[in-house]
A and B are shown apart, each in its own frame.
Chain A
Amino acid sequence: MQHPVLACRKVSRLYGARASEFVTDGHLTTDNVQTLQEAGITPAIFNVDLDIERGKTFVIMGLSGSGKSTLLRCLAGLTPPSAGKILFESKNLFEFSEADLIQIHRHQMGMVFQHFALLPHLTVLGNVAFPLEIQGRPRAEREEIAQRMIRLVGLEGREHRFPAQLSGGQQQRVGIARSLAGDPDVWFLDEPFSALDPLIRREMQAEVIRLQGMLKKTIVFITHDFEEAVRVADRIAIMKDGQVEQVGTAEELLVSPATDYVRAFTRDAPRAHILTARSIMTTSPSAGPFGGEVNATDRVISFARELDASSLPLAVIENNEIIGAIDRTMLLDILIGPETQAVGA
């Protein structure tokens, strides 16, 4: 099996005056969060284990203050963890020399920031070309690459504007173009769209999905919006108070939430868009008759109308075999929750 691009091994980051008392040789001396909190320490992230696979989009979710940004900063090599190891291509990211780390940042990582982080004194072109300028590439080369990136995000014709002359959505496009200019392997996005209004936000999500389809980067994406996560993610990690509650696909989180917290988090999710036929079907053998057939991997939304119109259940097919069935009550369960839950709510 291919090794993950980035991995966390019992990574913790503590904030507080007495933080160093609880770390020896890169390991925490306590596994108890309460001991830390009583000592006035904020465990921004605590014993996190993660694997981030190559070419996939990994989303980190959680409420404000749950440690998402801290985790991302550790993964990106900006903040050293207090304990544990970050493995980048199987090597400890924080054991690289300063010069090597600079090279990694220049050529293998790119980041999009929540508040855009555009340099106010540079034009759009200057901002996009900035990483290349830092690398010391010749002017003609870097401007050509920058132009290509600007075209990629649809900002051609605005190269010579300054950030203050752009709308929020346009500014973030510049941020995206800039983060891609160095052709990174890993692309970090920290709540890239939460400063934007909902319509622009949708547009930008589509943009990221489109770019990902073309470029196949490894993406680490932070959001606190589950819908956004579902749209872009291959896998999602849900964080609470610095700890990872569960990692999985959107569907796994919905179907088998590991904790009540995860359940609460996914309650308002667009279930029909996420769940597949396989996860809602009954496997109890039924000979039919069937009103039609669906693939096990089809999303509910794609056959909901058909199911609604038919009085008979649909057969779920995998490898040309019927492996289960779906009827209309199941559809209702998905949309408004199973009966027991509805009474409780």
Chain B
Amino acid sequence: MKKASALPAGVVFGKPVNLRHLPWLIIVILSVILAELPRTVFPRWVQKYPTGWRLSLADWISAFMHWLTVDAHLGPLTVSGFTRALSFLLDLPLQLASMVLATGVLKGQGSEAVMLFPPVPWFALIIAIAALSWTLRGWRLAVGMTIGFLYLAVFGQWTSAMVTLASVLVAALLSAAGGLALGLLCVRSATFGRLLSPLLDVAQTMPVFAYLLPMLILFGFGPVSAMIATVIYAIPPMVRVTVVAIQGVPDELRSLGSMTGCTRRQMTWRILLPTALPGLMVGVNQVIMLSLNVVIIASMIGAGGLGWDVLGALRRLDIGGGLEAGLAITVLAVMLDRFAQALVPDARRSGPSGSRSHHRVIAGALALAGLLWIAAALWPAIAHYPESARLSTGPFWNDLVSWINIHFHDPLDVIKTFMLLHVLMPVKRFMLALPWPWVVTVVTLAGLWMGGIRLALTVGLMCGFMAVVGLWQPAMITLYLCGVSVVIAMLLGVPVGVIATQRPWLMKSVEVFIDTLQTLPAFVYLIPIVMLFRVGDFTAMIGIVLYAIAPAIRYTAHGISHVPESLIEAGTMTGCTRGQILRRIRLPHALPDMLLGLNQTILLALSMLVITALVGTRDLGQVTYAALSKADVGQGVVAGLCVAFIGMISDRFIRQAIRQPGS
């Protein structure tokens, strides 16, 4: 900052302190004093936001939803009629996909249904996919995909996995296509982009639970609502990636388009999209991962599939069963991702992409798969993987957890008690003791200080919102739980990221580990933790840390390993030791990346809240969850907005910090 250099350095406790940090120091000291003062010192309205001043936003939203579904008209159509029609339309591709993959063509309803034609049998699908993979990327991918699908069959997850696959495929396609379209619109019209951006922010940071209920009311209980919720959740990164990728197309290529006389449509489809494709695939990858992330939540409202199995297993406290179904989700995620990546034509590959022998292999494999499918229709006995040949690792996991529980109960308990007494409880007490006007003021001032009046207004209003709607207390608990978890995740993740970059083999295993953690539904590892530590804040914290640590590791590793080679060489030439290179060159250079990682860690931590609410926290997640079970639309949405705002406040601050290097 320019201002800073003009300020003289002060001296505190004999150490030089840059005066620029002084305001922060004062704020911290004041906060501690305010938190330690007995509550009665303050007037009542400062202690607790008065109920009389509360904005009954929740009630208004509920009333609005009621009006929307009962009275509102869109032209001649009622709104609910319109949404039901939309729901019917969206159900069609979903039905088709699950017919082909999972249920087959049925006649009749429910248990009396008669199967007219079976779904694709497992071996036929494997043959077709393997052949396709081989032509796209060679035998490695083919073997990988085969093993993945065999896993699903052998461990008895096939049918559920296909139900999930069908809904994820449709949801991911919709999100990818929708995100692409919105992204293109944003590129074409800057105004549209500015209007859409805050909506995307909210959609990305608001817990899915919060908008699940409105979806249910508008689109009915069933897979379509689940799918729409999934799409809302998964679309923002696709839009963002599209904008970045399209804007990243070199100007020369655009000029080429104009010079060859491309019409607008040709420019988009022949120049912009193909050249931006590798970038766009990053978005597709995100979409797939996010879609799979919400399958469990979706399964709660009738999407079925693997998510449903996990949930069922957990209700029976069958950790092994839950873990198996959860791992199946991970396997599915990895396969989908690799396959999607393989669909991108690789320009570096030699030789023509669609040679004749490849075509012949695909045609042959598809014909064979088709024949096998028909055979399965004629002899239903061969269509299913034999029960007797199934394996299960469930008992193993169950035994493992109880073994740990028996042998390590005492040391685990010590850790838990220590953390609770010396970290969690004091922080929680401190956060709750802070008077709300003080917090709002500090946040606003920080905004003013870092980014100016606009930022100050944005963050100040968002912060005030939590008090005004009467959710200050749960918001502070949210902040405390997330704050502690994020700090721990960073404390663990940054060193791991740094160490991993020094050793490639370690990096590989860390990657696999965090990929698994991120795609494994959070429920699945929450349960063994609950069994080891019982319900409570500590359990919630571990869950959040496990889920949110991935970006802390990944971004650190990325930043550290992408320091320009010339800088390292310059360091070596000035005689830096390895440690000095790390501390003086790599770490400072990686700082912006690490801040981005922090940002992501916070967002992930917030998205875990609703799930940790299940283990008895009393934060905003709990409010959302309770609202969902009471069908209180307004309260759910408002609590969800609070979570979104916390995420957005931290996001704005961190982005500002990245923009001002050196501060």
The answer to whether B350 touches A73 (Cβ under 8 A) is no
Q: Which residue of B lies closest to A163 (CB)?
A: B347
At the interface, yes or no: A44 with Cβ under 8 Å from chain B? no
User: Does B252 interact with chain A (Cβ within 8 Å)?
Assistant: yes
CA distance A269 to B271 in the complex (A): 41
- Within B323-372, the residues touching A (CB, 8 Å) are 345, 347-352
Cα distance, A106 to B260, chains bound together (Å): 5
Q: Return the chain B residue nearest A125 by Cβ.
A: B352
Is B261 in contact with A102, judged by CB distance below 8 angstroms? yes
Q: Can you list the 9 inter-chain pairs with the closest CB atoms, starting with the nearest?
A: A106-B261, A105-B261, A117-B252, A131-B260, A162-B347, A111-B259, A102-B261, A117-B256, A121-B274
Contact A117-B253, Cβ < 8 Å, known A105-B258, A130-B260, A131-B260: yes
**B252-A114 in contact (CB<8A):** yes
Q: Is the CB of B262 closer than 8 A to any CB of chain A?
A: yes
Q: When A78-B259, A121-B275, A162-B347 are in contact, do A134 and B270 touch as well, CB less than 8 Å?
A: yes
Interface residues of A in 135-164 (CB under 8 A from B): 135, 160-164
Query: Given the complex, which residues of A lie within 8 Å of B345, measured CB to CB?
Result: 121
Chain A residues contacting B274 (CB-CB under 8 Å) are: 119, 121-122
Chain B: how many interface residues by the 8 Å CB criterion?
24
Q: Is the CB of B258 within 8 A of A78?
A: yes
- Whether B261 lies near A119 (C-beta < 8 A) is no
Q: Is the CB of B275 within 8 A of A120?
A: yes
Closest B residue to A111 using CB positions: B259
* CB contact under 8 A between A165 and B262, given known A117-B253, A119-B274, A121-B274: no
| Interface 0/1 of A163-202, CB less than 8 Å to B | 1110000000000000100100000100000000000000
B262: chain A residues at CB < 8 Å are 102, 134
Query: Which residues on A sit within 8 Å (CB–CB) of B270?
Result: 130, 133-134
Known contacts being A102-B261, A106-B261, A130-B260, is A113 close to B255, with CB within 8 Å? Answer: yes
Interface centre among B262, B347, B348 (most CB of A within 10 A): B347
Cβ-neighbour of A76 out of B259, B275, B348, B350 (below 8 A) = B259
How many angstroms from the CA of A163 to the CA of B346 in the assembled complex? 12
Tell me whether B260 and A182 are in contact (CB under 8 A): yes
Task: Let me know if A115 is at the binding interface, CB within 8 A.
Answer: yes
Are B275 and A119 touching (Cβ within 8 A)?
A: yes
B348 & A134 in contact (Cβ 8 Å cutoff)? no
The reply to whether B253 and A119 contact each other, CB–CB distance below 8 Å, is yes
Which A residues touch B256, using CB under 8 A?
111, 113, 117, 119
Of B255, B259, B260, B350, which is within 8 A of A165 by CB? B350
Q: Which residues of B contact A103 (CB under 8 A)?
A: 261
Q: How far is the CA of A133 from the CA of B260 in the complex (A)?
A: 10
- Distance in angstroms from A199 CB to nearest chain B CB is 24
A119 to B252, CA, bound (A): 10
Q: Between A and B, how many residue pairs show CB distances below 8 Å?
A: 74
Q: When the two chains form their complex, are residues B252 and A113 in contact, meaning their CB atoms are under 8 A apart? A: yes
Q: Which A residue sits closest to B262, measured CB to CB?
A: A134
B127 interface residue per 8 A CB criterion: no
- The answer for the CA separation of A135 and B262 in the assembled complex, in Å, is 8
Instruction: State whether the Cβ of B250 lies closer than 8 Å to any Cβ in chain A.
Output: yes
Q: Is the CB of B260 within 8 A of A105?
A: yes
The reply to whether B260 and A121 contact each other, CB–CB distance below 8 Å, is no
B580 an interface residue at 8 Å Cβ cutoff?
Answer: no
Are A131 and B347 in touch, CB under 8 angstroms? no
Interface string of A98-117 (1 = CB under 8 A from B): 00001111110111011111
In the assembled complex, which residues on chain B have CB atoms less than 8 Å from the CB atom of A77? 258
B266 near A134 (CB under 8 angstroms)? yes
User: Which residues of A are in contact with B by a Cβ distance under 8 Å?
Assistant: 73, 76-78, 102-107, 109-111, 113-117, 119-123, 130-131, 133-135, 160-165, 179, 182, 188
Judging by beta carbons under 8 Å apart, are B261 and A115 in contact? Answer: no
In the complex, are the beta carbons of A109 and B277 less than 8 A apart? no
* Residue contact B250 to A115, C-beta cutoff 8 Å: yes
Enumerate B9-61 residues with CB–CB distance to A below 8 Å.
Answer: none
Name the distance in Å between A2's Cβ and chain B's nearest Cβ.
25
Is B197 among interface residues, defined by CB-CB distance under 8 A?
no
CA distance A188 to B255 in the complex (A): 12
Cβ-based interface call for B402 (8 A): no
Interfacial chain A residues near B252, Cβ < 8 Å: 113-117
The minimal Cβ–Cβ distance linking B568 to chain A, given in whole angstroms, is 27
Which residue, A117, A135, A160, has most C-beta atoms of chain B within 10 A?
Answer: A117
Interface string of B251-282 (1 = CB under 8 A from A): 01101101111110010001100110100000
B352 with A160: CB separation less than 8 A:
yes
A76 vs B258: C-alpha distance in the bound complex, in angstroms?
10
**Cβ-defined contact, B259 with A110, below 8 A:** yes
Please determine whether A120 and B261 come into contact, CB atoms closer than 8 angstroms. no
CA distance A114 to B348 in the complex (A): 22
* Residues of B269-325 whose CB lies within 8 A of A: 270-271, 274-275, 277
A-B contacts besides A164-B347, A165-B348, 17 pairs, CB < 8 Å: A77-B258, A102-B261, A105-B258, A106-B260, A111-B256, A117-B256, A119-B256, A122-B274, A131-B260, A133-B270, A134-B260, A134-B262, A134-B270, A135-B261, A160-B352, A161-B350, A165-B350
Per-residue 0/1 for B482-514: is the Cβ within 8 Å of any A Cβ (1 yes, 0 no)?
000000000000000000000000000000000
Are the C-beta atoms of B261 and A131 separated by less than 8 Å? yes
How many whole Å from B611's CB to the nearest CB in chain A? 41
- What CA separation (Å) do A105 and B253 show in the bound complex? 15
Asked if A162 meets B259 with Cβ closer than 8 Å, knowing A113-B252, A119-B274, A121-B277, the reply is: no
Are the CB atoms of B255 and A73 closer together than 8 Å?
yes
The answer on a CB contact under 8 Å between A78 and B261 is no
A-B contact pairs, 14 of them (CB 8 A): A111-B255, A111-B256, A116-B252, A117-B253, A119-B256, A119-B271, A121-B347, A122-B274, A130-B270, A131-B260, A131-B261, A134-B266, A160-B351, A160-B352
CB nearest to B257 among chain A residues: A134
B255 — which chain A residues lie within 8 A by C-beta? 73, 78, 111, 113, 117
Q: How far is the CA of A109 from the CA of B259 in the complex (A)?
A: 7
Q: What chain A residues lie within 8 Å of B271 (beta carbons)?
A: 119
Residues of A within 8 A of B277 (CB): 121
Residues of B within 8 A of A117 (CB): 250, 252-253, 255-256
Could you say which residues of chain B place their CB within 8 Å of the CB of A73?
255
Determine the residue in chain B with the shortest Cβ distance to A110: B259
CB distance from A41 to the nearest CB of B (A): 21
Nearest-CB residue, chain B, relative to A72: B255
**Residues on the B chain within 8 Å of A161, using CB:** 350
Which A residues are CB-close (under 8 A) to B266?
134
With most chain A CB atoms within 10 A of its CB, the pick from B261, B270, B347 is B261
User: Which interface residue of A103, A104, A111, A161 has the most chain B CB atoms within 10 A?
Assistant: A111
Q: Which residues of A contact B259 (CB under 8 A)?
A: 76, 78, 105, 109-111, 179, 188
Measured CB to CB, the closest approach of chain B to A99, in angstroms, equals 9
Query: In the complex, which of the residues B258, B259, B266 has the most CB atoms of chain A within 10 Å of its own CB atom?
Result: B259
**In the bound complex, CA of A110 to CA of B263 (Å):** 16
| Residue of B whose beta carbon sits closest to that of A135 | B261
Shortest distance from the beta carbon of A77 to any chain B beta carbon, whole Å: 8
Please determine whether A164 and B348 come into contact, CB atoms closer than 8 angstroms. yes
A130 to chain B, nearest CB (A): 6
CB B276 to nearest CB in A, in angstroms, measures 10
Complex CA gap A76/B260 in Å reads 11
CA distance in complex: A294, B263 (Å): 57
A111 to B259: give the CA distance in the assembly, Å: 7
Q: How far is the CB of A203 from chain B (nearest CB, A)?
A: 22
Which residue in chain B gives the minimum CB-CB distance to A181?
Answer: B260
Nearest residue, chain A, Cβ from B267: A134
Write the nearest CB–CB distance from A103 to chain B, whole angstroms.
7
Say how far A305's CB is from chain B's closest CB, in angstroms. 46
A121, closest chain B residue (CB): B274
Report the Cα distance A107→B270, complex, angstroms.
18
Contacts of A104 in B (CB 8 A): 261
Distance from B357 Cβ to chain A, minimum over Cβ atoms (Å) = 15
